Structure 1
Amino acid sequence: MSSKRHSILPAIDRSGPKPPVNFSSSLTISDNAILQGTHSITMQSETVVHPRSRFESNLGSILIGRRCIIHERAYIGARPADLDTAKPGGVALGDYVVVEVGTVIEAGDTEIGEGTTLQVGCKIGSGTKIGRHCTISQKSVIPPGEHLPDYTVVYSDGLRRLDSRGVTDMRKLGLVKQIAVLKKMIPSNPDKFK
């Protein structure tokens, strides 16, 4: 077996303190995920964490709800751009939240409501409160301290509308099926982080 790297991505930086963790027994977490910090990181049942996703709990605790999917290169608990005006605190994700590739969620009492989808490359500012069943479209930026009501869709340079499709139950069912497939595809090693 060759010792050459097969990935074109840079090596994973695992420096930093190892946080206290509280994992559900049904969690699926890749051993290539990155968990750093001094505050606790809690992940509840049937959540799936892809390789190369990053959780940093230096500014506060991180709580990931039930049946969430955290995709590759998502960064949860990032240091806010303006640390002087940021609120103290961590990040809380409700149940059935999907955080897609490259999304950054800044720490600082940030809350993402149940059933919300954060699409590719979003940036969620410190202290933001996003309601239930919202959709933040790709590359959208939500400024620090913003409050979004339930069922809000943010798209195309910050435009907003309310989602009145009434498909929340179907989205949950689809997410449960996606989690079942991902649990078979992603080798899980939660003991590595304890």
Structure 2
Amino acid sequence: MTSSQPNTATSASQSASALSSRPPVTLGQTTHLDPGAYVRGTHAITVGEYDLVHPRAQLVAVHGPLSIGDRCIISEKCIIGGPVRSTSGMSSDPASKTPSAPGSGSNQPSPLINQGGADDADDEERDPMKTVIHDFVYVHPSSHVQAGATIREGVLIESNVTVLANVTVGAHAKICAGVTVDRNVEDWTVVYGNGNMKRPRKRRSAEEDQTELVEMLRLKAMDKEREGTVTLLRAAARTANLAKKK
């Protein structure tokens, strides 16, 4: 069922905005980057094997390179590596946040991140902000992972989540819908409410085996979902191409 990926990458690049530059894209042979996805920026974008990037998802490499691991799902209207806007009143360093800091962990629109000025020439001189998505990450629709963020293995990001620049989300964490993540998240943690409410997914040593079994089954189900969706999207693309030729 694997299609020729160079053609897919070219189609996705051609669908990007005419005003956006086209970054070098490296795709795994088993990955489906939908022709309706948007790819833009000047830095390299690397996507691993058995990934699914839905239509209308955006892979952005404006501030630095973007790397996506294996067996990930990037849903519709997600923006991965998106532009980091600037303001003089905020810091982009999550380590500088305190529990009482305004906007720390919120389901409100994400705050603007200070990049030290809005001059385009300065932007080009800054060190690249690498965005990394590790293996088995599921990003649900309309979620944003800003440039410089790191999402570790097995993370589940629900809809309408914003992960701010330079934040690291630990392995097998779950970010519930509508949360803005402005500080690092530990492994096996659920973040919910206003974003400052957290609980461990593993409570006692006796529960670890059961928790890990449930997580393994979830990842297998995610894999089946990805495979089925890729089949449907490729069939729809073939049907659309045949309709155009008639």
TM range (shorter): 0.7 to 0.9
Match of 2:191 in 1: 154
1:16-27 matches, within 5 Å, as 16-27=20-31
Work out whether 1:124 is the aligned partner of 2:128: no
Read off the aligned partner of 1:118 and give its amino acid letter: I
Greater displacement, 82-91 / 26-35: 82-91
Match of 2:80 in 1: 76
Q: Distance in 1 between matches of 2:156 and 2:18?
A: 28
Q: CA RMSD in A?
A: 2.0
Work out whether 1:134 is the aligned partner of 2:173: yes
Q: Distance in 2 between matches of 1:95 and 1:14?
A: 31
Work out whether 1:91 is the aligned partner of 2:128: no
Q: Distance in 1 between matches of 2:18 and 2:142?
A: 18
3-state SS of the aligned residue for 1:52?
coil
Structure number with greater Rg is: 2
Bigger strand share: 1
Render the CA deviation track for 1:29-49: whole Å, top value 9, x for unaligned: 110100000000011000001
Read off the aligned partner of 1:20 and give its amino acid letter: P
3-state SS of the aligned residue for 1:133?
coil
Read off the aligned partner of 1:107 and give its amino acid letter: A
- Structure 2 unaligned residues grouped into runs of 5+: 1-14, 85-111, 117-125, 203-210, 238-246
State, as a whole percentage, how many aligned pairs show the same letter.
26
Larger RCO, structures 1/2 (Cα 8 Å, 6+ apart): 1
TM-score (norm: length of structure 2): 0.68
Q: Distance in 2 between matches of 1:61 and 1:88?
A: 7
Q: Kindly tell me the number of residue pairs found equivalent between the two proteins.
A: 176
- Structure 1 unaligned residues grouped into runs of 5+: 1-10, 190-194
Greater displacement, 160-169 / 17-26: 160-169
Bigger helix share: 2
TM-score (norm: length of structure 1): 0.85
